[in-house]
């Protein structure tokens, strides 16, 4: 009989140790194969071990728990997830469930609730169900990725940087961008940067070359080529038309 592999992610060490010791994992034919204290190390652990079940908090300091959930559910559609959290926000819980979480449990959690969650997750694994809506997770990740790009476009930004922020591999993010935005990463980034440059050109005190640097292009010639490609005119021609 298949033994189900479990990962636990929580920044409260007492919670992690308590779950490891108190839950009768063998009764569910489960084993805890790893634990993590934050979303980033937890995501790396999941990629390394490919577990069947994840039990996680999604409100850890400095972490974007919903993005982590969306990323993992999109990249690992068979992964069953139960959330344990002290965050009592109904809208947050709704969003987590929409992203494919099996159970959303509030701390302190009763043992009966944990046992029921395990039973439900195992039943879904045995039925080989894929109950989550791929479009929900995919569009969620793309929206988060584009929002991050719009906030950080002036920096040296790579696909890997944004993928890490969305808790997915760069290959998976590239696939999602093509599927849900119908554009590549650099197509989207260039559009954001050129739109920002067009706004900056309304300030006559700014030189065109400086504007290119301000929106993230270290090479003025490259900025000029991208600007013409996306607008149909040179940066100077565009400025003179304002």
Helix (H) or strand (E) holding 232: none
72 and 139 inside one domain: no
The DSSP string of 65-95 is HHHHHHHHHHH-TT-EEEEEES---HHHHHH
Q: 209: closest CA among 235, 238, 177?
A: 235
pLDDT for 61 equals: 74
The residues, ordered by sequence, that sit 6+ positions from 57 with a Cβ below 8 Å of its Cβ are: 9, 10, 11, 12, 15, 65, 83, 84, 85, 86
Helix 65-75 vs helix 90-98: crossing angle, to nearest 10: 10
129 and 208 inside one domain: no
Tokens for 41, please give them: 């190390």
pLDDT for 19 equals: 95
Please report, in tens digits, the pLDDT of each residue of the chain (242 residues total): 789 999 999 999 999 999 999 999 999 999 999 999 998 899 999 999 999 999 999 887 777 888 989 999 899 999 999 999 887 878 888 888 888 899 999 998 999 999 999 999 999 998 867 555 678 899 999 999 999 999 999 999 999 999 999 999 999 999 999 999 999 999 999 999 999 999 999 999 999 999 999 999 999 999 999 999 999 999 999 999 98
102 and 189 inside one domain: no
What total number of domains does the chain contain?
A: 2
The residues, ordered by sequence, that sit 6+ positions from 4 with a Cβ below 8 Å of its Cβ are: 28, 29, 30, 31, 52, 53, 122, 125
147 and 129 inside one domain: no
Among the candidates 95, 114, 133, a domain finishes at: 133
Residue 237: CATH number of its domain = 1.10.10.60
Query: For residues 101 and 70, what is the distance between their CA atoms, to the nearest angstrom?
Result: 9
Residue 91 CB coordination number (10 Å): 7
Query: For residues 142 and 28, what is the distance between their CA atoms, to the nearest angstrom?
Result: 36
Query: For residues 184 and 36, what is the distance between their CA atoms, to the nearest angstrom?
Result: 33
139 and 110 inside one domain: no
3-state secondary structure of 60: coil
70 and 145 inside one domain: no
Among the candidates 74, 109, 133, a domain finishes at: 133
36 and 140 inside one domain: no
Quote the distance between the C-alpha of residue 162 and its chain's center.
9
117 and 145 inside one domain: no
Strands (E) located in 15-73: 30-36, 53-56
Query: For residues 35 and 6, what is the distance between their CA atoms, to the nearest angstrom?
Result: 9
Residue 73: CATH number of its domain = 3.40.50.2300
pLDDT for 58 equals: 86
State the residue range of the domain holding 98: 4-133
198 and 218 inside one domain: yes
127 and 205 inside one domain: no
CB-based contact 146:176 (threshold 8 Å):
no
CB-based contact 99:69 (threshold 8 Å):
yes
Among the candidates 133, 159, 191, a domain finishes at: 133
187 and 73 inside one domain: no
124 and 217 inside one domain: no
């Amino acid at each position: 009989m298949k033994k189900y592999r479990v990962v636990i992610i929580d920044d409260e060490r007492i919670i992690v140790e308590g779950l490891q010791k108190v839950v009768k994992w063998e009764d569910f034919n489960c084993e805890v194969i790893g634990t993590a204290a934050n979303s980033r190390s937890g995501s790396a652990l999941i990629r390394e071990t490919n577990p069947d079940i994840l039990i996680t908090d999604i409100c850890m300091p400095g972490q974007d728990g919903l993005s982590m959930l969306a990323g993992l559910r999109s990249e690992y559609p068979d992964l069953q997830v139960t959330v344990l959290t002290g965050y009592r926000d109904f809208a947050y819980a709704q969003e987590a469930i929409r992203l494919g979480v099996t159970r959303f449990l509030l701390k302190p959690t009763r043992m009966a609730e944990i046992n029921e969650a395990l039973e439900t997750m195992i039943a879904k694994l045995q039925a080989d169900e894929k109950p989550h809506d791929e479009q929900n997770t995919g569009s969620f990740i793309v929206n988060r990725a584009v929002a991050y790009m719009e906030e950080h476009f002036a920096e040296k930004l790579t696909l890997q940087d944004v993928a890490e922020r969305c808790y997915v591999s760069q290959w998976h993010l590239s696939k999602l961008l093509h599927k849900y935005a119908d554009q590549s990463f650099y197509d989207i980034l260039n559009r954001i940067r050129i739109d920002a440059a067009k706004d900056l050109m309304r300030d006559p005190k700014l030189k065109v070359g400086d504007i290119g640097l301000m929106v993230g292009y270290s090479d003025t010639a490259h900025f000029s080529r991208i600007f013409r490609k996306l607008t149909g005119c040179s940066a100077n021609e565009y400025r003179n038309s304002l």
